[in-house]
């Protein structure tokens, strides 16, 4: 519960004043689960999010009735979006009145031109498709997030229909919508679970820097220290201080989800020996198992390679299995270490092993 509250508090300021367009499949308009979505939509509205609820098809009256039963602060636009500018003008009028808009799309399909045109012209931050189908997956693993630029080149889902859905979402992103979400509307609470967590529960296609590996900033140091504190106490990571990190700040990189730091790594160069050390590799417990550690390792490997180093090594006593069996680093004798690094390791008394690979 505490983690959920923290996520909400982090996102609320970012979402206030933003417009979300929520497209609801016709198959869900009578579903029991829609009640949860409408209550969640009203909660978002109370937090300052502007909302347009698009009912798939020609008639939004059923959605309007259900919204009234849930006491949503909503008003129905009389014209479907296929009416063009008059319908858009009416939607904008209701938005300005600080009400949730309910409008019929006028056609069937989750990426109809009227709904997309509305989202683009109104400057929507999100286009959310509430569907009655499972979210796209690869190898039975949901595609939680993928950059628009990667959809066509690296996304082959478990069936062609899901691949087509992600490609359609990517096309919406290219028209100016930063994030497009595909959600399974049969799941209760899916709307808030998707919006108020870094990982989400649906599939998101995005154009902005949702996932990013970047250099450590000075203001990140306190968060980094608190993040790794438990591992330092458990002797899984070497003790570091604010001053020690600050003095080598250019060596540190962090993995962020929506600007939240979820992992870190460091690259320490030894130019006289044409090698570099991969150090301080850490992923927050709640984010383990998603490949972020591997991404950080590959990032510093590529950086070391571009800087002209011939090999990279890592020293660890707690991540032996990870380096040996997951990253396929070779186990090396301590004698391969640069002399100054070997001296530090020997004086520490730690029973760490050395792993490495050629670049």
Note whether 80 and 103 are within 8 A (CB): yes
Whether 128 and 232 map to the same domain: the answer is no
Residue 40: band (very low, low, confident or very high) from pLDDT cuts 50, 70, 90: very high
Q: Which of 189, 208, 227 delimits the end of a domain? A: 208
Can you state the angle between helices 34-46 and 61-69, rounded to 10 degrees? 70
Whether 165 and 218 map to the same domain: the answer is no
How high is the mean pLDDT of the chain? 89
H helix intervals, the chain: 2-15, 34-46, 61-69, 85-96, 113-121, 148-154, 160-174, 190-195, 221-233, 242-247, 292-306, 320-321, 339-348
% of the chain at pLDDT higher than 70: 94
Whether 179 and 255 map to the same domain: the answer is no
pLDDT in tens, 209-257: 667 889 999 999 998 888 888 777 766 677 888 899 999 999 999 998 8
Residue 158: band (very low, low, confident or very high) from pLDDT cuts 50, 70, 90: confident
pLDDT in tens, 319-328: 889 999 989 9
Supply the pTM of this predicted model.
Answer: 0.69
Query: What is the extent of the structural domain holding 216?
Result: 212-358
Tell which wins on pLDDT, 43 or 9. 43
* Residue 189's CATH number: 3.40.1160.10
Per-residue confidence (pLDDT) for residue 208, from 0 to 100:
65
Whether 226 and 333 map to the same domain: the answer is yes
* Residue 328's CATH number: 3.40.630.30
Statement: residue 4 has pLDDT above 90: no
């Amino acid at each position: 519960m505490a983690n959920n509250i923290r996520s909400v508090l982090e996102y609320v300021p970012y979402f206030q004043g933003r417009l979300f367009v929520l497209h609801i499949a016709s198959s869900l308009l009578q579903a029991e689960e829609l009640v949860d979505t409408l209550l969640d939509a009203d909660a978002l509205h109370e937090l300052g999010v502007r909302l347009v609820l698009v009912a798939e098809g020609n008639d939004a009256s059923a959605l309007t009735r259900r919204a009234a039963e849930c006491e949503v602060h909503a008003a129905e636009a009389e014209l479907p979006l296929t009416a063009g500018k008059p319908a858009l003008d009416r939607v904008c009028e209701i938005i300005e009145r600080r009400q949730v808009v309910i409008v019929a799309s006028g056609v069937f399909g989750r990426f109809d031109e009227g709904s997309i045109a509305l989202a683009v012209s109104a400057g929507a931050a999100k286009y959310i498709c509430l569907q009655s189908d499972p979210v796209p997956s690869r190898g039975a693993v949901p595609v939680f997030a993928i950059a628009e630029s990667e959809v066509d080149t690296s996304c082959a889902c478990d069936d062609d229909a899901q691949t087509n859905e992600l490609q359609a979402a990517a096309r919406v992103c290219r028209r100016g919508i930063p994030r497009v979400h595909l959600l399974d509307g049969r799941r209760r609470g899916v709307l808030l679970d998707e919006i108020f967590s870094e990982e989400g529960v649906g599939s998101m296609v995005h154009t902005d820097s949702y996932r990013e590996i970047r250099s450590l900033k000075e203001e990140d140091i306190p968060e980094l220290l608190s993040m790794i504190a438990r591992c330092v106490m458990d002797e899984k990571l070497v003790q570091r201080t604010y001053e020690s990190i600050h003095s080598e700040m250019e060596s540190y990189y962090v993995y962020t989800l929506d600007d939240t730091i979820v992992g870190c790594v460091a690259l320490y160069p030894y130019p006289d020996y044409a090698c570099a050390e991969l150090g301080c590799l850490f992923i927050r417990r709640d984010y383990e198992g998603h490949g972020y550690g591997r991404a950080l390792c590959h990032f510093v490997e590529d950086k070391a390679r571009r800087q002209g180093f011939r090999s990279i090594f890592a020293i660890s006593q707690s991540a032996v299995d990870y380096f040996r069996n997951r990253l396929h680093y070779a186990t090396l004798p301590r004698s391969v270490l640069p002399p100054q690094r070997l001296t530090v390791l020997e004086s520490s008394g730690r029973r760490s092993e050395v792993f490495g690979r050629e670049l």
